[in-house]
């Protein structure tokens, strides 16, 4: 600013005329806003502060806030006026004064601030209180110690209970900001009472206040799923807010608290449905909003793909979307791609590949490759789409296509090699390192199928030193591969590349790799073959998914910068300010008592089960056993089979990780960790009793088995993709009272598999292999072997969810693989399951009616006799039959290997394909599995 | 929270800065300028830019970049929504939101920004409240103020600020009581080469202009509220009532406001009001390409399609065009390759067409990309989703207001691929 200008302004500021003064201050402010330095006028402007004119006062305050820091001594001059204004009868002036004081970042002044601020925090006018709340945060930023010493934090906490929602919202905002610099301070101590207050204020405060409150709510961990549901219910209306930040904050709260809701709860489904429309709506907003929304949706579809699985079309790219929106949409399209919509997605991607924007086109071509890897059924179409694109001869399209085809080859080995010829035609047009490297990899990998592989690779060798490192390394490896496959013709070539890499290069990586190959080839060619031509791990789409624990943390940060960058806040928050890692609440963690009825009972039933079954031996069950069998069996000791111990050692580490894996997954964590800890000891006895009984009966009553039991067809339990080429399919059968697991092992890999072993995780009914797995001969590629593994029910017991879930580890010479399968519970129905009529009647009456469950069996065209016969085949015995009019009633009994009895009434109406099944049992959580068996047996 | 705001014009000059906490040097904007240089189009600048100590969150409106500086973890949408509110407020106050208007009213701008945000926390963003605090500049008021020495800053606490209806001021009086509602629907669609719809969705809004005395309580009901399953409301709408009865019940703000916006998704059947027959071809080895475009109405419920404007980004290889419109005028910019045809109204008896040739660079190969055709249009008196207002009632006041409801359909992002 020119001196003369300052001089003139000075004169005007000191004018007697009010109007002139005001105009002068305005001029000063105008200069200030455009960045001119008018600090020299400080004393003159401050002199204008004592005025009744509110506009002039505001203008002077504006000036003060800007320059006080550079003129601290002068700023003291203003303090008196502030203190006076804080007592003004007009609340607007009181609020203005307290607001401005906080913005004057001068240490000396802050001391004078405390008393007026204390008064304003308790002001009768809520407008002043809410302004004062923010002022505490300002003051804390300048002098945190002072704020704590003066007890302002406690006053601020009290304001959370203020009668005015705006005051509550500002108090929350101020506390959140302060808490950010004190991560462990527990400032926002949330309990159900404060949460209730916040939820009430949520409905009435401004949109900005709603954001603060929702963000604060998201830090709370509800005590149980009921509280979680009730908060969700009260937050859901925010999804219809016009302010997108409110919507996204509400989504965050819901996504987080949803984690605690049982999945079979109706409300859970309702909530999922409610989340989709607001997310879609965000995409019709301005591009910047869309971008932030898309980055968050990217997280949401990874966490809960079901929310948006039907909304693929909203992510289709419009040609005038900004590039940053286009790229995000593309990414989400691939994440949502599935067999159901792949045709549509591919058509779109092909369209994008002809767009103008090069970056976008490249990404679209890559997307086609990712689709091929993600949706196996579409791989063929993707490859043909890529070939079409290669035919366009557009240089960057061809190069991108070759890079992704390389990945497709890795994912589906030996499937699409027919396209290699087409790729080779485009060799000359490749000028990008990545594409060249990809092409060289392909040539090396399939050298035995490409007649002129040596010529092709040799052509690259000519300009070896001009290539980038990536290409050089790839070329070196490819030529060594070629040599190992066709050693006779390529000796010269390999010599050449090794000397280029080791002698003429000064790149240490390249030299090292060169020397390693050289030494390998010269000392042990067989070892070299094993190393260089080793089987490569299959790639999967998971490579570009966010790692689950990070994803869970990011879900807690929806709507924040962390969610935009897909990095935890700790990665980019300024130094010194620690950040707490947020975690999703565990579903069952707190919900033991209040889980959904099913799960809750199931959990408690496990611990209750032994008392329910064993003590009852004294009465009903005991009577029965004593009647049929003279010796009491309760002293049969549990026999841990030695075989199993051995197997445990074999796969010990693997199993640990299997269990560990489960523990880290959120759903089960504390059920496994907490509740059942004391359980196996108690339960250990129960199955042993049952098991022992079963054995005894086998000796005596094995003859009684007549009709064969139903055996479900084999299904694939472990796809080859997940097990390095080993495919396992199987089923369960009960033959002559012994449970068998019938397995088929198929080797879909290229190398021979040997050394098979199997091990089960603890499960609900103590199923365990009764002998080692008998795969005698090595399994050569494309060979299948069928094995029948007898099972015992004396293994360790642990409640599984679902009850009939079985987790299995299979080992071979390559690795250990894990899978889980579900067995029909009819497997466990023992042959002595027929109850005496009288006992049946007494038992039926004895079991409380709330343990009765009713099911419909549809489309079963059997008459009662046929049904009875069929069921008997699976050890469901008809105790009695009654006929009323056209309705037959079968009374049936079933006994499980662990001694649990199940009583059933099956009502069959002649001519009606639907029958009704009522099941009564002391352990009602088993009922639905029994029903499933009925259905399975009767329908097949 | 929001630390500072910089306004940057198209040439990259910072013409206004405002700091709500300590002053952040304007050199922080250098990171923004770097991003600006990298971006091929002005609108391609990423909305969130990280710098070593700050984050820059920007929006581009009316060729002005509003760049907010934040230092700690703040929800970006919060910042963007706030910036939108700033733009809306400027437009509301000055009629336009341009560099010139902002510079002319720099003090009012400063006062507004100070009132909208305190320490980075939003304070008053409702136009009704702001106008009570700071009166918008008008020529008349400037004259009056200079004569009487009065000010344009309100001396009283705004009445709505803390009431349960913060969006409405008390003591509103009108001689003519009127309430107008505009149902405006924008149709976004992508149509493929063969004319079938790939995706189509409708963004609808109901904008209101309510000038009613006192504290009127309105209810608005629809013939077919089922259409509205994805809605965003103005805070005045009682959500419970909507959930239970599908009726909009509200005490309206005074003046113009957006009552609700809604979205009819691609899963519903969306009527497509126009069709395009096109034939844009290039032949290998020829320096000429054919261009043939015909427009026609369909599914318009008998309403006229007006203000039709067709534009298309032709391939880079096209040097010039020689086209013949059957109606309206067309222009082709040989530099940007943008073809634009102002069609006007579609006459169903005589369909408008644009035919002719495009000349290509001699010897250049056939262009790879297929141009997309962008269409804008308007249809009066029609909400394409079929949404219809059933009735509007007023409670709480005795007088009889004048009520009016208008419908309009516009093209949003309506694209036809060739």
| Domains along the sequence of chain B with CATH | 2-148 (3.30.450.60), 178-270+382-416 (2.60.40.1170), 274-380 (2.60.40.1170)
Helix (H) or strand (E) holding A201: helix A192-204
Query: What is the pLDDT confidence band of residue B269, given thresholds at 50, 70 and 90?
Result: confident
Q: Over the stretch A774-804, which tens digit does the pLDDT of each residue have?
A: 877 788 888 888 888 888 888 888 888 888 8
Measured between beta carbons, which residues in chain A are less than 8 angstroms from residue B122? 206, 208
Cβ-nearest to B107 among A30, A356, A562: A30
Q: Are strands B121-122 and B117-118 parallel, antiparallel or unpaired?
A: antiparallel
A511-525, A763-777, B59-73, B386-400: which range is least confident on average? A763-777
Mark yes or no for CB contact B368/A354 under 8 Å.
yes
Whether the bond into A698 is cis, omega within 30 of 0: no
Averaging pLDDT over each range in A220-224, A280-284, A414-418, B306-310, which range is the top one? B306-310
Sign of CA dihedral A513, A514, A515, A516: positive
- Distance (Å) from the C-alpha of residue A240 to the closest C-alpha of chain B? 4
How far apart are the C-alpha atoms of A123 and A90, rounded to whole Å? Answer: 12
- Measure CB to CB from residue B198 to each of A69, A316, A559 and give the nearest one: A316
In B, which residues are within 8 Å of A311 by CB distance? Answer: 265
pTM above 0.80, yes or no: no
| pLDDT band, residue A594 (cuts 50/70/90) | very low
Q: Measured between beta carbons, which residues in chain B are less than 8 angstroms from residue A316?
A: 190, 198-199
Please state the rounded mean pLDDT for residues A111-128: 88
Residues in B closer than 8 angstroms to A171, CB to CB, are none
Question: CB contact, 8 Å: B6 with chain A?
Answer: no
Q: Residue B414's pLDDT is what?
A: 92
d(Cα B329, Cα B17) in Å, to the nearest integer?
44
Chosen from B62, B76, B146 to mutate, greatest number of chain A CBs within 10 A: B76
Choose among B243, B259, B229, B250: nearest CA to A233: B243
Cβ-based contacts of B190 with chain A (< 8 Å): 316, 318
Q: How far is A265 from chain B (nearest CA, A)?
A: 21
What's the pLDDT band for B318 if we cut at 50, 70, 90? confident
In angstroms, what CA-CA distances link B67 with A283, A871, B106? 22, 74, 17
Does position A699 have pLDDT exceeding 80, yes or no?
no
Between A108 and B14, where is the model more confident? B14
A653 pLDDT tier (thresholds 50, 70, 90): very low
**Mean of pLDDT values over A762-776:** 83
Identify the top-confidence range among A399-413, A483-497, B54-68, B294-308: B54-68
From B323's Cα to the closest Cα of chain A, the distance in A is 23
Which pair of structure tokens corresponds to residue A803? 């009850």
Which residues in chain B have Cβ-Cβ distances shorter than 8 Å to A278? 230, 232
Q: Give CA separation, A283 vs A305, A312, B265, in Å.
A: 17, 12, 11
Find the closest chain A residue to B43 by CA distance. A322
Q: Of A413-427, B86-100, B205-219, B317-331, which gets the smallest average pLDDT?
A: A413-427
pLDDT above 70 as % of chain A: 85
**B178-191 and B402-417 strand pairing:** parallel
Residue B160 corresponds to which tokens in the numbers above?
């709505």
The yes-or-no verdict on residue B149 having pLDDT over 80 is no
What pLDDT is recorded for position A245?
A: 94
- In eight-state DSSP terms, residue A896 is B
Please write the tens of the pLDDT for every residue from A45-82.
Answer: 888 877 777 778 888 888 888 788 777 777 777 888 88
Task: Please answer yes or no on whether A249 and B263 come within 8 Å at the CB atom.
Answer: no
Tokens 């079309």 belong to A313
What average pLDDT is seen over chain B? 86
- Return d(Cα A236, Cα A257) in angstroms, integer: 12
- B230 interfaces chain A, CB cutoff of 8 Å: yes
Mean pLDDT of A454-479: 88
**Which residues does chain A have within 8 Å of residue B57's beta carbon, measured at their own beta carbons?**
288
Q: Is the confidence at residue B151, as pLDDT, over 90? A: no
Look at residues A290, A540, A142 and name the one whose alpha carbon lies nearest to residue B22: A142
- The set of residues, in sequence order, having a beta carbon less than 8 Å from that of B51 and lying 6+ positions away, is B28, B31
CA–CA separation, A687 and A694 (whole Å): 10
pLDDT at B154 over 90: no
- Interface contact flag, B71 A394, Cβ < 8 Å: no
- Give the gap in angstroms from C-alpha B197 to the nearest C-alpha of chain A: 11
Query: Do the beta carbons of residue A430 and residue A398 sit within 8 Å?
Result: yes
Structure-block tokens of residue A879: 């105790």
Q: Label residue A279 by pLDDT band (50, 70, 90).
A: very high
pLDDT at residue A918, rounded to an integer:
87
- Nearest residue on chain B to A18, alpha-carbon basis: B149
Give the pLDDT confidence score for residue A686 in this predicted structure.
37
Chain B closest-CA separation from residue A149 CA (Å) = 22
Q: How far apart are CA A551 and CA A255, in angstroms?
A: 12
Residue B157 near chain A (CB below 8 Å): yes
* Structure confidence at residue B292 (pLDDT): 92
- What would the mean pLDDT of A73-100 be, rounded to a whole number? 84
Q: Of the given ranges (B194-208, B278-292, B313-327), which has the lowest mean pLDDT? A: B278-292
Range among A328-337, A901-910, B149-158, B159-168 rated most confident: A328-337
Q: What is the pLDDT of residue A275?
A: 92
The residue to which tokens 């409301």 are assigned: B233
- Give the nearest chain B residue to A127 (CA atoms): B162
Q: Which of helix, strand or coil describes residue B298?
A: coil
* Per-residue pLDDT reduced to its tens digit, A203-248: 888 889 999 999 999 988 888 888 999 999 999 989 988 899 999 9
State the pLDDT confidence band at A541, using cuts at 50, 70 and 90: low
Q: What's the whole-number average pLDDT of chain A?
A: 79
Q: What is the mean pLDDT of residues A24-40?
A: 81
CB contact under 8 A, A29 and B110: yes
Confidence of residue A618 (pLDDT cuts 50, 70, 90): very low
């Amino acid at each position: 600013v020119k001196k003369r200008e300052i001089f003139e302004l000075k004169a005007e500021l000191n004018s007697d005329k009010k109007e002139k003064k005001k105009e002068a201050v305005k001029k000063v402010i105008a200069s200030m806003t455009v960045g001119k330095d008018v600090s020299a006028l400080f004393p003159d402007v401050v002199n204008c502060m004592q005025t009744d004119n509110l506009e002039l006062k505001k203008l002077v305050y504006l000036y003060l806030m800007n320059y006080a820091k550079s003129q601290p001594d002068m700023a003291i001059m203003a303090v008196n006026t502030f203190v006076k204004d804080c007592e003004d009868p007009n609340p607007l002036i009181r609020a203005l004064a307290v607001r401005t004081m906080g913005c004057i970042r001068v240490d000396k002044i802050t001391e004078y601030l405390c008393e007026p601020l204390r008064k304003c925090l308790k002001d009768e006018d809520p407008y002043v209180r809410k302004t004062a709340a923010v002022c505490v945060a300002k003051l804390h930023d300048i002098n945190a110690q002072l704020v704590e010493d003066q007890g302002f934090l406690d006053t601020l906490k009290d304001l959370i209970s203020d009668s005015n929602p705006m005051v509550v919202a500002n108090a929350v905002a101020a506390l959140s900001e302060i808490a950010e610099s004190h991560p462990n301070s527990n400032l926002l101590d949330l309990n159900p009472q404060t949460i209730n207050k916040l939820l009430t204020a949520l409905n009435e405060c401004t949109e900005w206040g709603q954001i603060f409150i929702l963000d604060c709510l998201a830090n709370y961990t509800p005590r149980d799923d009921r509280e979680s549901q009730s908060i969700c219910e009260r937050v859901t209306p925010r999804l219809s807010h016009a302010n997108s930040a409110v919507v996204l904050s509400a989504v965050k709260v819901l996504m987080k608290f949803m984690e605690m809701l049982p999945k079979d709860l109706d409300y859970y489904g309702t909530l999922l449905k409610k989340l989709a429309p607001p997310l879609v709506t965000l995409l019709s907003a301005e591009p910047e909003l869309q971008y932030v929304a898309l980055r968050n949706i990217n997280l949401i579809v990874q966490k809960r793909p079901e929310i948006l699985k039907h909304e693929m079309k909203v992510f289709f790219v419009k040609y005038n979307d900004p590039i940053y929106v286009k790229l995000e949409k593309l990414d989400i399209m691939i994440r949502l791609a599935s067999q159901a919509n792949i045709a549509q997605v591919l058509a779109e991607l092909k369209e994008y590949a002809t767009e103008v924007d090069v970056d976008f086109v490249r990404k679209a071509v890559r997307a086609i490759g990712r689709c091929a890897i993600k949706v196996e059924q579409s791989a063929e179409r993707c490859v043909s789409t890529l070939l079409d694109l290669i035919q366009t001869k557009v240089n960057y399209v061809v190069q991108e296509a070759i890079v992704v085809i390389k990945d497709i080859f890795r994912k589906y080995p030996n499937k699409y090699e027919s396209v290699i010829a087409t790729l080779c035609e485009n060799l000359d047009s490749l000028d990008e390192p990545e594409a060249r490297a990809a092409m060289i990899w392909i040539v090396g990998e399939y050298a035995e199928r490409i007649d002129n592989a040596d010529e092709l690779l040799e052509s690259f060798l000519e300009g070896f030193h001009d290539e980038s490192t990536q290409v050089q390394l790839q070329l070196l490896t490819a030529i060594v591969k070629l040599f190992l496959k066709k050693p006779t013709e390529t000796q010269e070539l390999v010599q050449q590349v090794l000397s280029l890499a080791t002698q003429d290069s000064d790149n240490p990586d390249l030299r090292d790799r060169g020397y390693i190959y050289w030494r390998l080839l010269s000392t042990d060619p067989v070892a070299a073959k094993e190393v260089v031509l080793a089987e490569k791990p299959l790639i999967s789409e998971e490579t570009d998914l966010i790692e689950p624990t990070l994803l869970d943390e990011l879900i807690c940060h929806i709507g924040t910068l962390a969610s935009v960058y897909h990095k935890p806040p700790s990665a980019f928050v300024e130094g010194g300010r620690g950040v707490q890692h947020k975690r999703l609440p565990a579903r069952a963690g707190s919900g033991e008592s209040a889980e959904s009825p099913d799960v809750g009972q199931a959990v408690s039933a496990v611990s209750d089960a032994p008392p329910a079954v064993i003590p009852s031996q004294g009465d009903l069950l005991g009577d029965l056993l004593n009647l049929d069998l003279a010796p009491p069996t309760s002293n049969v000791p549990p026999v841990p089979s030695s075989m199993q111990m051995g197997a445990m050692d074999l796969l010990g580490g693997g199993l640990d990780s299997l269990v560990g894996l489960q523990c880290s997954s959120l759903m089960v964590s504390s059920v496994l960790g907490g509740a059942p800890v004391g359980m196996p000891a108690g339960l250990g006895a129960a199955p042993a009793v049952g098991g022992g009984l079963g054995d005894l009966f086998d000796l005596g009553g094995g003859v009684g088995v007549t009709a064969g039991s139903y055996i479900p067809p084999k299904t694939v339990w472990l796809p080859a993709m997940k097990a390095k080429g080993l495919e396992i399919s199987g089923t369960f059968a009960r033959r002559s009272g012994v449970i068998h697991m019938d397995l088929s092992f198929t080797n879909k890999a290229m190398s021979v598999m040997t050394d098979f072993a199997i091990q089960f995780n603890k499960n609900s009914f103590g199923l365990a292999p009764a002998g080692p797995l008998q795969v005698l001969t090595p399994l050569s590629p494309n060979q299948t072997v069928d094995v029948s593994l007898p099972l015992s029910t004396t293994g360790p017991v642990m409640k599984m969810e679902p009850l009939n879930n079985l987790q299995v580890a299979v080992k071979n010479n390559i690795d250990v693989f894990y899978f889980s399968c579900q067995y029909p519970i009819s497997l466990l129905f023992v042959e002595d399951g027929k109850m005496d009529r009288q006992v049946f009647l007494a038992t039926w009456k004895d079991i409380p009616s709330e343990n009765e469950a009713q099911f419909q069996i549809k489309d079963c065209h059997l008459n009662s006799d046929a049904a009875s016969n069929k069921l008997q085949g699976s050890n469901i015995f008809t105790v009695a039959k009654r006929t009323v009019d056209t309705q037959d009633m079968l009374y049936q009994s079933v006994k499980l290997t662990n001694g649990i009895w199940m009583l059933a009434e099956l009502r069959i109406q002649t001519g009606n394909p639907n029958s009704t099944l009522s099941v009564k049992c002391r352990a009602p959580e088993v009922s639905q599995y029994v029903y499933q068996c009925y259905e399975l047996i009767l329908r097949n | 929270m929001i630390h500072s705001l910089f306004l940057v014009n198209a040439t990259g000059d910072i013409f206004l800065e405002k700091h709500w906490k300590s002053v952040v040097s304007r050199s922080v904007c250098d990171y923004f300028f770097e991003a600006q240089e990298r971006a091929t189009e002005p609108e391609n600048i990423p909305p969130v830019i990280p710098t070593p100590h700050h984050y820059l969150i920007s929006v581009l409106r009316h060729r002005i970049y509003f760049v907010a500086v934040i230092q700690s973890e703040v929800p970006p949408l919060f910042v963007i929504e706030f910036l939108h509110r700033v733009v809306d407020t400027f437009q509301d106050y000055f009629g336009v939101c341009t560099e010139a208007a902002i510079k002319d009213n720099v003090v009012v701008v400063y006062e507004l920004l100070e009132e909208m945000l305190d320490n980075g926390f939003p304070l008053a963003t409702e136009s009704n409240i702001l106008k009570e605090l700071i009166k918008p500049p008008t020529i008349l008021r400037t004259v009056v103020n200079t004569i009487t020495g009065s000010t344009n800053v309100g001396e009283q606490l705004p009445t709505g600020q803390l009431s349960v209806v913060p969006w409405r001021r008390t003591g509103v009086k009108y001689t003519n009581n009127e309430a107008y509602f505009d149902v405006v629907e924008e149709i976004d669609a992508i149509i493929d080469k063969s004319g079938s719809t790939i995706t189509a969705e409708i963004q609808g809004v109901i904008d209101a202009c309510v000038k009613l005395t006192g504290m009127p309580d309105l209810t608005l009901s629809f013939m077919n509220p089922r259409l509205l399953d994805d809605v965003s409301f103005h805070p005045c709408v009682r959500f419970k009532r909507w959930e239970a009865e599908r009726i909009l019940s509200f005490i309206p703000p005074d003046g113009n406001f957006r009552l609700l916006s809604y979205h009819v998704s691609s899963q519903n059947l969306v009527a497509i009001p126009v069709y395009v027959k096109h034939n844009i071809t290039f032949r290998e080895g020829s320096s000429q390409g054919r261009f043939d475009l015909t427009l026609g109405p369909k599914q318009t419920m008998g309403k006229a399609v007006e203000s039709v404007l067709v534009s298309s980004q032709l391939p880079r290889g096209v040097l010039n065009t020689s086209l013949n419109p059957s109606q309206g005028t067309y222009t082709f910019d040989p530099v940007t390759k943008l073809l634009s045809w102002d069609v006007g109204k579609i006459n169903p008896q005589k369909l408008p067409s644009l035919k002719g040739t495009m000349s290509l660079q001699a010897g250049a190969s056939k262009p790879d990309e297929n141009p997309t055709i962008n269409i804008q249009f308007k249809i009066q008196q029609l909400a394409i989703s079929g949404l219809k207002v059933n009735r509007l009632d007023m409670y709480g006041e005795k007088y009889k207001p004048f009520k009016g409801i208008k419908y309009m359909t516009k093209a949003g992002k309506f694209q036809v691929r060739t």
